[in-house]
Amino acid sequence: IKSEKRMSDLLISENHSERILYDIEVAATWKPDDELTVLEPDSRINTYAKEDPSYAQFPRRVFKQVTHRLKRSLEGLIISTTVPPALLQERPKVTSEWLMQLSPDGKYLAVLQEHKIEIRTSESGFEKNYVIYNSKRDAFSKWRRLAWSLDSKIIAATRSDGSIEIINEDGQLVCMIISSSNINSDVENDPQAGQSFFLEPVAFISFVDPKRGSNKPLYYEGHIYQYELIVITYDGVLRSYLLNTIESVTTLNSNETISRRAKVNITYSREGSYDPGYFAFYHKFSFKQWLSTVVCGSVITLNGLLLCLGGKPNNENEDELTLPSVVCWMLLPDRPFYRKLELEGMVDESID
């Protein structure tokens, strides 16, 4: 991690613009796993998937080299029903295997790696681990995504197979959302077809305020939800989920009769799941009419709630050169939930 320190401000009279000179200094240095001999005394580890004990027979460095070479040799065999073949081959070349995201309050830094999520705090200069959440290793970690909730309490991390792990700031698993096929993260062994890797990654994931600009809390099936998670795959399909943790469900639904669970780890299917007061599949929407492929997105909260998506325009009936590759939508608190905007900011249409 590097910090930028401002040294001087230079005012350029010719164009009346301000130019700033920065000096880059090293703020913290992180050592690789194989160089760590002992765990920080103030770290906490939560393991979701147990490691295969047979792997312990291999030296760590040798195992890394073998797995990385194997993964590179099988890149041509990757199969996906949602990602175009060209993007499937080219995107990993320009994407890092690690993802980092700072929490909205600036207190936590989440570092997503192949098999774990490290959470570091600003109190240590983001140098020491606060908690470590271990899960099953993802051989295609470059397809993962990471998102903090608006209150910096929970994190959503996607896997290359489309599954989503949601943990809290203490490294405890809140729930998992499993993709429809649930075979994507494993290798299918077929003597006739050989070995193939099936990917169904997420293009964009973000928490949004479930009130969506309204002054009233969101009631769904008689319960209030604190979190809304929107997930968009590369084929342009959006899925929205409503979530509560044990802490939030107790606070928000104090007058409701909801059993307090002793066990938090719960797995839900990608569509149709409903767990009153804790989890709900909210709605689904497709952007395929405007974008045949979605590759990135952003949620802008200034003066409303705006969802911006970038990708390949759908040019079935029009010239591709005249079609926008960025589409913006206002997020509405009630149906139809989305209202498309023109690039000039004029309202174009709403979706029922």
Residues 193 and 282 in one domain: yes
Residues 145 and 217 in one domain: yes
Please check whether residue 7 lies inside any domain of the structure: no
Please check whether residue 234 lies inside any domain of the structure: yes
| 339: helix, strand or coil | strand
Question: Per residue of the chain (352 residues), what is the pLDDT tens digit?
Answer: 444 444 334 334 445 556 677 778 777 777 665 444 445 555 666 655 544 444 455 566 665 666 666 655 555 567 888 888 888 888 888 888 899 999 999 999 999 988 899 999 999 888 888 999 998 888 888 999 999 999 999 999 999 999 999 999 999 999 999 986 554 444 333 333 333 468 899 999 999 999 998 888 899 999 999 999 999 999 999 999 999 988 876 666 555 544 545 455 589 999 988 999 899 999 999 998 888 889 889 888 766 688 999 988 887 655 555 566 888 999 999 888 999 887 654 445 555 4
Residues 302 and 226 in one domain: no
DSSP track, 264-320: ---EEESSS-EETTTEEEEEEEE-TTTEEEEEEEEEE-TTS-EEEEEEEE--SSS-G
Please check whether residue 11 lies inside any domain of the structure: no
**Domain of residue 43, residue span:** 32-286
- The predicted pLDDT at position 284 comes to 95
- The predicted pLDDT at position 179 comes to 83
Q: Which of 223, 274, 273, 213 is nearest to 248 (CA)?
A: 223
Residues 272 and 306 in one domain: no
Residues 267 and 313 in one domain: no
Residue 233 backbone dihedrals phi, psi, to 5 degrees: -90, 170
CB 210 within 8 A of CB 227: yes
Distance, in Å, from the CA atom of 237 to the CA atom of 229, rounded to the nearest integer, reads 14
Give the Å distances, CA to CA, from 219 to 210, 274, 334. 9, 14, 11
Residues 282 and 292 in one domain: no
Query: Token pair of 42, please?
Result: 């103030």
Please check whether residue 226 lies inside any domain of the structure: yes
Count up the domains in the chain and report the number: 2
Distance, in Å, from the CA atom of 55 to the CA atom of 60, rounded to the nearest integer, reads 9
Distance, in Å, from the CA atom of 129 to the CA atom of 73, rounded to the nearest integer, reads 34
Query: Token pair of 4, please?
Result: 């930028």
Buried b vs exposed e over 273-304: b needs ≥16 C-beta within 10 Å?
beebbbbbbbeebebeebbbbbbebebeeeee
Residues 107 and 64 in one domain: yes
Query: Token pair of 80, please?
Result: 């996906």
Please check whether residue 6 lies inside any domain of the structure: no
Q: Which of 305, 158, 345, 144 is nearest to 239 (CA)?
A: 158
Bridge pairing between strands 267-269 and 173-178: parallel
Domain boundary among 235, 259, 286: 286
Please check whether residue 208 lies inside any domain of the structure: yes
Residues 272 and 340 in one domain: no
Residues 138 and 208 in one domain: yes
Residues 51 and 174 in one domain: yes
Residues 182 and 266 in one domain: yes
Residues 88 and 151 in one domain: yes
Q: Which of 142, 115, 129 is nearest to 48 (CA)?
A: 115
Domain boundary among 259, 286, 313: 286
Distance, in Å, from the CA atom of 131 to the CA atom of 170, rounded to the nearest integer, reads 6
Distance, in Å, from the CA atom of 119 to the CA atom of 105, rounded to the nearest integer, reads 14
- The predicted pLDDT at position 209 comes to 92
Please check whether residue 78 lies inside any domain of the structure: yes
Distance, in Å, from the CA atom of 10 to the CA atom of 18, rounded to the nearest integer, reads 6
Query: Token pair of 204, please?
Result: 């964009």
Domain boundary among 286, 305, 330: 286
Dihedral (C-alpha) 70, 73, 76, 82: value to the nearest 10 degrees? 20
Please check whether residue 14 lies inside any domain of the structure: no
- The predicted pLDDT at position 153 comes to 95
